[in-house]
Amino acid sequence: MYQVMLISNPMAGSVSPRHKEVIVNALRADFKLEVADTEGRNHATELARDAVDRGFDAVLAFGGDGTINEAAQGVIGSDTALGTLPGGTANVLARSIGIPRDPIDATAYIAHRLRSGQTQRINVGRVNERYFIFSCGMGLDAEVVKRVESDPEGKARKRDWLYVKKLLRAGVLDYSRRKPQITFTPILSPPAPGEPIRVVSTVCCNARPFTYLKNLPVDVCPLAQLDKGLDFLSLDRIPLWTFPGLAWGMLKSRKHIDRKHATYLHDTSGGILEADVPLPVQADGDYLGEVTRAEITLVPHALDLLV
């Protein structure tokens, strides 16, 4: 019988005792199950790493993208599979790989994949010492994540619209006036340094979409794929007049990557971001703090994902 660890974040936006009870009962019918609740930041990593050390077949993370990212830190590089049960506000990874949005339906879906051994060995990225599955960034996107995380009540109440509000405030009041403060040196495939460029903000994607606005995928890096290298979208300026075109491109046309002030790189081995002053960095929508250097690298075939 498969050994499964269920890691639940009771503080996540859509995690409820009723959902958890149904999920636990369903999983216990088919698997040798152990259940643990997270008690703080990075606790999911400790729990997942313990499951790997004890030879568990799978770790299932019930929470938002931050919980899934934390659990991934503990299983990347091992043979223990990672499954995602959507319990957050955006649930970007779960939605992008086709997992049902209802956590109970998602449990049935993941349990079937686990019983039949349906996993995909995927590439991941790493920014400094932190792994990411779908995205990381330095600059405007990380500033938005920082501001959203500083308003947990608003995040729980307004969800998607809080991100839009914080993006507009950060973009209009700060980044639209900002000159380049980051030197971005791409590492092309095969690994070799590219020409450095000066930018205001850079997003790196390992998959698409970057996030969702309600039901609309926000495709910052529309060519990114889990089985390819890393894609980068860098902006050397973000004047106010570019906002409508960038928004339309990310939501509909996918042509923002060809616009003035944008540099798009596809299928790379990574890149190095060196900032003149400490700037915010995010990974999978989790704020990592402010740094002056972010080294982003591709880690091939690093994670067994239940898909």
Domain boundary (90, 117, 144) is at 117
Amino acid at 151: D
State yes or no: cis peptide before 191, omega within 30 of 0: no
Residues 153 and 277 reside in one and the same domain: yes
Going from the C-alpha of 119 to that of each of 129, 154, 301, the distances in angstroms are 25, 36, 12
Label each residue of 149-199 as H, E or C: HCCHHHHHHHCHHHHHHHHHHHHHHHHCCCCCCEEEEEEECCCEECCCEEE
Q: Does 123 map to a domain?
A: no
- The maximal CA–CA distance of the chain, rounded, in angstroms, is 59
- 84 and 200 belong to one structural domain: no
Which residues, at least 6 apart from 287, have a Cβ–Cβ distance to it below 8 Å? Answer: 142, 145, 146, 149, 280, 281
Residue 58 makes CB contacts below 8 A (sequence gap 6+) with 2, 3, 4, 5, 80, 81, 82, 83, 114, 306
**Quick check: is 225 in a domain?**
yes
Q: Is residue 16 part of a domain?
A: yes
pLDDT, one tens digit per residue, over 261-285 is 999 999 999 999 999 999 999 999 9
Judged by average pLDDT, the poorest of 71-80, 116-125, 151-160 is 151-160
**Quick one: what percent of the chain has pLDDT higher than 90?**
87
Q: Is the pLDDT of residue 143 over 80?
A: yes
Mean pLDDT computed over 153-163: 77
Residues 19-47: tens digit of each pLDDT: 999 999 999 999 999 999 999 999 999 99
| Confidence (pLDDT) at 157 | 73
Q: Are residues 83 and 139 in the same domain?
A: no
Task: Write out pLDDT tens, residues 47-65.
Answer: 999 999 999 999 999 999 9
Range of the domain at 65: 3-117
Task: Indicate whether 179 and 203 sit together in one domain.
Answer: yes
Shared domain check, 90 and 135:
no
CATH number of the domain residue 56 falls in: 3.40.50.10330
Percent of the chain beyond pLDDT 70? 98
Q: Are residues 161 and 91 in the same domain?
A: no
Range with lowest mean pLDDT among 12-21, 59-68, 114-123, 219-228: 12-21
**Is the pLDDT score of 102 beyond 80?**
yes
Residues 198, 169 share a domain: yes
Residue 184 sits in the same domain as residue 238? yes
| In contact, 200 and 175? CB cutoff 8 Å | yes
How far are the Cα atoms of 178, 201, 233 from residue 32, in angstroms, in the given order? 54, 46, 44
**Whether 92 and 222 share a structural domain:** no
Q: Where does a domain end: 65, 96, 117?
A: 117
Is 134 within a domain?
yes
76 with 189, same domain: the answer is no
pLDDT in the model for residue 158 = 67
Q: Report pLDDT digits (tens) over 214-271.
A: 899 999 999 999 999 999 999 999 999 999 999 999 999 999 999 999 999 999 999 9
What is the reported pLDDT for 237? 97
If you average pLDDT over residues 198-213, what whole number do you get? 97
How long a stretch of residues is the chain?
307
In a domain, 122, yes or no: no
DSSP string, 235-304: ES---GGGHHHHHHIIIII--GGGSTTEEEEEEESEEEEEEEEEEEEEETTEEEEEEEEEEEEEEEEEEE
Same domain membership, residue 278 and residue 135: yes
The half-sphere exposure of 191 on its side-chain side, counting CA atoms within 13 A, is: 8
> Poorest-confidence range of 23-32, 57-66, 138-147, 188-197?
188-197
- Among the candidates 84, 117, 150, a domain finishes at 117
The pLDDT of 72-87, averaged and rounded, is 97
Mean pLDDT rounded to a whole number for the chain = 94
Does residue 307 fall inside a structural domain?
Answer: no
> Is residue 82, in this structure, part of any structural domain at all?
yes
How many distinct structural domains can be found in the chain? 2
CATH number, domain of 175, equals 2.60.200.40
Same domain, residue pair 96 and 218: no
